[in-house]
């Protein structure tokens, strides 16, 4: 079966290396060293496109192209790079609907969420186009009368980005835009499930006039090979990865060999605290926005609901009313709130967390099973009477399940919330000003939402503590990880 109706001018099935589209079978195109991979629509199982599946030689070629492009790209003044990034931003904004369609077709999220994702992705490109011009150095008061001391920031060099399928446009933009703004060039390896969005972004970068070799996209299903090549090659100065904590640790070990720079945005286990002085209706609204966005397939989405015992029942029943009203379906249909999960393995993980919780005493408030639409659709679920003996309290579910645990007092709530090696995002609802300060300071998380379930924005630093990673993306801090400090000591 194929999605034969797709006529999207941004759809490409070839890799983008050195400013060329490679891998087409037509004779005048460069061939890639391996085969092709079928990209299937998770909503229907239909074929969306057959994409080049690159091998080691192709990746090495992309690294070489990025390496060659680095010197002329870094030589541009920041304002020139900013103009090109701004043109890329304009292309995304002018093509929001087309790019969003590709996201929904290969990833499954509702089209309204895909449109929001394209705007979110574009916001990073716009932001870093502006930040390119503000990469200031320092002139330090000298330590000796005849010395002058300058501190500058230089681009790290070639950056390899490795990005996940859950936000196939935004995660690329959040890494590539600051890298390019700083003067780095990029080899981008998209997730094997969602290469089409990355390739469409390359179409738009090419239209914007980003020079050949500055931004390369290398789709491959051989993630192990890609990791090995990108971490092992000394022409790559930095890896920026978003994905699982397990893979992040492997990349860190691999980077140790040549002390490659590394930024990691890894898994979360976000607590969502509801205190007895919270506005419950607002808390329910925030819970739905946080938990069921992208069918719960988000690193920052609430993974555990910790609710004061006195309001737990009321919170659970209000939440269940909202959750039952969520419309599950093909993301291309208007009015759908939740699309399919990315694949069968994702559904099995959700099922295993629910089964484990129920076998240990949790109660199903709503959902709990595969959706009648079949495939990888799953019913939005709420579980009550969850406790910390259950898998769901410790592992990232990455699916549309809200497990509710209870606490007796603030100290217990904080202790439960911090009882994890993850430290990406946390949320809490309270109307008390004093509690706002106490709780926001006590939570060991890089991102804290107070009275809101939505925290993502290009203007703030995104990143985690503990095993949720290292480095920050977005904000004025997000460009710094793509630079090296250089101190220049001048004798006068």
CA dihedral 335, 341, 344, 348 (to 10 degrees): -120
Which residues form the interface with ligand SIN (CB under 6 A)? 166-167, 170, 242, 265, 298-300, 456
For the chain, the straight-line distance linking the first and the last C-alpha, in angstroms and rounded, comes to 74
For 424, the 3-state DSSP assignment is coil
Minimum gap (Å) between residue 120 Cβ and ligand SIN = 7
CA-wise closest residue to 182 among 488, 485, 492, 479: 479
Angle between helices 78-94 and 96-107 (to 10 degrees): 70
Question: In the complex with ligand SIN, which residue's Cβ is closer, 53 or 265?
Answer: 265
Query: Which residues lie closer than 8 Å to 426 by C-beta, 6 or more apart?
Result: 270, 271, 272, 273, 417, 443, 445, 447, 448, 449
For 127, the 3-state DSSP assignment is helix
Evaluate whether 239 touches 160 at the Cβ level (below 8 Å): yes
Question: In the complex with ligand SIN, which residue's Cβ is closer, 241 or 378?
Answer: 241
Question: In the complex with ligand SIN, which residue's Cβ is closer, 128 or 315?
Answer: 128
Evaluate whether 474 touches 129 at the Cβ level (below 8 Å): no
Query: Which residues lie closer than 8 Å to 305 by C-beta, 6 or more apart?
Result: 271, 272, 274, 287, 315, 319, 402, 403, 404, 405
Minimum gap (Å) between residue 107 Cβ and ligand SIN = 12
For 341, the 3-state DSSP assignment is coil
> Which residues are the active-site residues?
265, 299
Question: In the complex with ligand SIN, which residue's Cβ is closer, 268 or 403?
Answer: 268
Evaluate whether 206 touches 215 at the Cβ level (below 8 Å): no
How far is residue 280's CA from residue 319's CA, in Å, rounded to a whole number? 9
How far is residue 99's CA from residue 117's CA, in Å, rounded to a whole number? 10
Evaluate whether 209 touches 201 at the Cβ level (below 8 Å): no
Question: In the complex with ligand SIN, which residue's Cβ is closer, 156 or 301?
Answer: 301
Q: Hey, what are 433's tokens?
A: 């000003």
DSSP, residue by residue, 252-318: HHHHHTTT-EEEEE----EEEEE-TTS-HHHHHHHHHHHHHGGGG--TTSEEEEEEEHHHHHHHHHH
Evaluate whether 1 touches 41 at the Cβ level (below 8 Å): no
Count of residues making up the chain: 492
Sign of CA dihedral 135, 157, 68, 249: negative
């Amino acid at each position: 079966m194929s999605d034969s109706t797709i006529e999207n001018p941004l759809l490409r099935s070839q890799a983008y290396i050195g400013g060329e589209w490679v891998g087409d079978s037509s004779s005048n195109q460069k061939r890639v060293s391996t085969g092709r991979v079928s990209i299937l629509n998770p909503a229907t199982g239909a074929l969306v496109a057959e994409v080049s599946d690159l091998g080691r030689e192709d990746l090495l070629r992309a690294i070489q192209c990025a390496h060659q492009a680095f010197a002329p790209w870094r030589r541009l003044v920041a304002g020139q790079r900013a103009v090109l990034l701004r043109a890329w931003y304009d292309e995304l904004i002018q093509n929001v609907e087309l790019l969003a369609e590709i996201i929904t077709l290969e990833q499954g999220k509702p089209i309204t969420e895909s449109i929001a994702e394209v705007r979110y992705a574009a916001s990073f490109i716009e932001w870093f186009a502006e930040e390119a011009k503000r990469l200031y150095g320092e002139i330090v008061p000298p330590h000796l009368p005849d010395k002058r001391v300058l501190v500058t920031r230089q681009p790290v060099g070639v950056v390899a980005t490795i990005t996940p399928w859950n936000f196939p446009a935004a995660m690329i933009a959040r890494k590539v835009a600051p890298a390019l703004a700083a003067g780095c060039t990029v080899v981008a390896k998209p997730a094997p499930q969602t290469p089409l969005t990355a390739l469409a972004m390359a179409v738009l970068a090419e239209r914007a006039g980003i020079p050949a070799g500055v931004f390369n996209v290398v789709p491959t299903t051989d993630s192990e090979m890609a990791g090995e090549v990108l971490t092992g090659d000394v022409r790559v100065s930095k890896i920026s990865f978003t994905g699982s904590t397990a893979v992040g640790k492997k990349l860190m070990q691999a980077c140790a060999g040549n002390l490659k720079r590394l930024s990691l945005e890894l898994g979360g286990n976000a607590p969502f605290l509801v205190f007895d002085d919270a506005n419950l209706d607002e808390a329910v609204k925030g819970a739905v926005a946080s938990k069921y966005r992208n069918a719960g397939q988000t690193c920052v989405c609430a993974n555990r609901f910790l609710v004061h015992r006195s309001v737990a029942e009321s919170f659970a029943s209000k939440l269940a009313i909202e959750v039952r009203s969520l419309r599950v379906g093909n993301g291309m249909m208007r009015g759908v709130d939740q699309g399919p999960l990315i694949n069968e393995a994702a559904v099995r993980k959700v099922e295993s967390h629910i089964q484990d919780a129920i076998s240990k005493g949790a109660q199903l408030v709503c959902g709990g099973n595969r959706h009648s639409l079949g495939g990888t659709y799953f019913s939005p679920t709420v579980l009550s009477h969850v406790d910390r003996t259950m898998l769901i309290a410790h592992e990232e579910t990455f699916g549309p399940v809200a497990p509710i645990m209870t606490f007796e007092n603030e100290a217990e709530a904080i202790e439960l919330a911090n009882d994890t090696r993850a430290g990406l995002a946390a949320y809490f609802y309270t109307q008390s000003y004093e509690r706002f300060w106490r709780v926001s300071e006590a939570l060991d998380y890089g991102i804290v939402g107070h009275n809101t379930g939505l925290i993502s924005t290009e203007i703030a630093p995104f990143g985690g503590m503990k095993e949720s990673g290292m480095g920050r993306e977005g904000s004025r801090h997000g460009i710094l990880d793509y630079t090296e400090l250089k101190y220049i000591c001048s004798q006068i």
